[in-house]
Amino acid sequence: MSKLQTSVNLRLAILGGMVLLFIIPLVMIGSLIEERSASRNQAVVEVGEKWGSSQTIVGPILMVPYNVRIPKSGSTKEKDKWDYITDYAYFLPDELDSVVEMKTELRKRSIYEIPLYTSKMKLSGKFSPMYSSDFPLDTTYIYWEDARIILSVSDLKGLGGEMKLFWAGKEKKFLPGTRSSYLPSGLNASANLSEAGNFIPFEIQLEIKGSETFSVVPIGKKSKLVMSSDWRDPSFNGNFLPKDRSIQDDGFSAVWESSYFARSYPQVIHSMDESVLNAIVNSAYGVNLVIPVDHYLKMERSVKYGLLFIVTSFALFFLMEVFGGVLLHPIQYILIGSAMVLFYILNLSFSEHLGFLPAYILSSLAVTGLIGYYAISVLKNKKKGLITASYYFVLYSFLYVILASEDQALLLGSLALFLVLSAVMHFTRKVDWYQFGIKKES
């Protein structure tokens, strides 16, 4: 009898080495999942380049140019000690009400589905009166006649249909571009202000197309966003969650409300810079159109349990050896582990065409049947083969429960490990490991 058959330590060392070797294919499968996910993201980008990508709306904002004097370095003459530069003040609306009606559709790019939307948007509200005192102390001249209304749209390819602007009760025409170096992507129109005056009402109507995400920046002193859509699986994002929301089979509706106390930038920005711009953009809120089953994310999570499942499978077959009097060859363990690794490849490839749940059921049943069929032969016992198949059926069922219960995954996983270890310790408590593999003399 060979030492491999009689030495428990040698057999366990070989099994441990094989378990470590299976890390390599599991890592390769993880890389394959990342690659397929990247291909899906690239498909989203390609469709977005032609239709419209994720959209963020900032505005309307009043941009008023002004001259300001600054000290000139190195000048000794009184008349030459000042430099005069032109800067831009940005006035944000006192009230901003946004109403968005979104229609969605799914477009296919190769085997991938990308959610697209067309939104009809109405922005209304008012600006407070503006005075010279709203500008810096060293302001020398204000170009009220050159004031512009700007509306920033992150991807101009999504603009289509009719766009209307009503300013102080009069209709104006939008022009392309914003004339702002900090918010270059968007539209502008002439405001032609005069100092002081009354509150200035406005209304903007536009149609905008995009993909996956739609966000609005609450730049008003009081801001409100009302959004409705026929998309059934929204994910609300941004700095604020909706005050009210309703999600039904035919779509969703949501209402956001916020005030300028909940943000880090003022109503009048004397000089725009990157830090202020980032604060404005980061205060956006809106919706992400989620595809209900992101199989790549679930696949990534399932692979993390791969090594643990191989360990428990090898432990099961080793216990079958202990109690069944049958010794398995390392190659047989390799074939069993390979079948478990193949489960992830089958699940990934099927899920891209069938969806995650059907692919998971088909792959788990295929691997369970294959290992059960193989176990009947190598264990030389039909009953033990069926027990093995039942174990894998429970194993993959439990894995799906973990994947579906993301918040309780750690709790469920730790309890399962405890129960498995308890069962192993219970059934092997009377095993004499020193006598394992040694035939008793008759």
Q: How far is CA 132 from CA 64, 144, 167, 197, 419, in A?
A: 11, 10, 21, 12, 75
**Secondary structure (3-state) at 197:** coil
Cα separation, 132 vs 134, whole angstroms = 5
Q: What is the pLDDT of residue 238?
A: 81
Note whether 122 and 260 are same-domain residues. yes
Q: What is the pLDDT of residue 442?
A: 43
Which range of residues forms the domain containing residue 286?
A: 53-292
Q: What is the pLDDT of residue 4?
A: 56
Within-domain flag for 359: yes
Q: Which of 288, 283, 304, 153 lies closest to 219 in space, CA to CA? A: 283
* Domain-ending residue, one of 229, 257, 292: 292
Note whether 361 and 315 are same-domain residues. yes
Could you report the per-residue pLDDT of 224-242, keeping only the tens digit for each? 999 999 888 888 888 788 8
Q: Tell me the two tokens of residue 24.
A: 């390599």
Cα four-point dihedral sign 173, 168, 64, 120: negative
Per-residue DSSP letters for 330-388?
A: HHHHHHHHHHHHHHHHHHHHHHHHH-HHHHHHHHHHHHHHHHHHHHHHHTT-HHHHHHH
Alpha helix positions (H), 253-329: 274-282, 295-303, 306-324
Cα separation, 71 vs 341, whole angstroms = 71
Q: What are phi and psi of 175, to 5 degrees?
A: -120, 150
Note whether 288 and 300 are same-domain residues. no
Note whether 345 and 402 are same-domain residues. yes
Cα 260 → chain centroid: 27
H or E stretch at 96: strand 95-109
Cα separation, 4 vs 329, whole angstroms = 9
- Number of Cα atoms under 13 Å in the Cβ half of residue 442: 0
Enumerate residues 6+ apart whose C-beta is below 8 A from 396: 343, 360, 364, 367, 368
Note whether 252 and 304 are same-domain residues. no
Residues facing residue 324 across a β-bridge: none
Note whether 267 and 357 are same-domain residues. no
Within-domain flag for 197: yes
Q: Which of 403, 40, 36 lies closest to 212 in space, CA to CA? A: 40
Within-domain flag for 440: no
Within-domain flag for 283: yes
Q: How far is CA 291 from CA 69, 113, 256, 262, 372, in A?
A: 55, 9, 23, 31, 35
Cα separation, 284 vs 189, whole angstroms = 23
H or E stretch at 210: strand 200-211
Task: Specify whether the backbone of 251 is left (phi greater than 0), alpha (psi in -120 to 50) or beta.
Answer: left
The CATH number assigned to the domain holding 145 equals: 2.60.40
Alpha helix positions (H), 70-136: none
* Domain-ending residue, one of 245, 261, 292: 292
Within-domain flag for 43: no
Burial of 267 (0-12, 13-18, 19+ CB in 10 A): middle
Within-domain flag for 2: no
Residue numbers in the chain where pLDDT is lower than 50: 1, 196, 293, 440-442
Apex CA 168: angle with CA 132 and CA 209, to 5°?
110
Within-domain flag for 48: no
- Say if CB 226 and CB 252 are below 8 A apart: no
Question: For the packed helices 382-404 and 295-303, what is the interaxial angle rounded to 10 degrees?
Answer: 130
Within-domain flag for 1: no
Q: DSSP secondary-structure letter at 172?
A: E
Q: What is the pLDDT of residue 196?
A: 47
Q: What is the pLDDT of residue 3?
A: 57
Q: What is the pLDDT of residue 230?
A: 87
Radius of gyration for the alpha carbons in the chain, expressed in angstroms and rounded: 33
Question: For the packed helices 8-21 and 330-354, what is the interaxial angle rounded to 10 degrees?
Answer: 30
Q: DSSP secondary-structure letter at 144?
A: G
Note whether 256 and 312 are same-domain residues. no
389 residue type, one letter: A
Note whether 142 and 260 are same-domain residues. yes
Note whether 126 and 253 are same-domain residues. yes
* Domain-ending residue, one of 237, 264, 292: 292
Structural domain count of the chain: 2
Whole-prediction pTM: 0.66
Note whether 218 and 232 are same-domain residues. yes
Note whether 222 and 159 are same-domain residues. yes
Q: Tell me the two tokens of residue 265.
A: 């930038």
Note whether 262 and 171 are same-domain residues. yes
Q: Tell me the two tokens of residue 353.
A: 């065409």
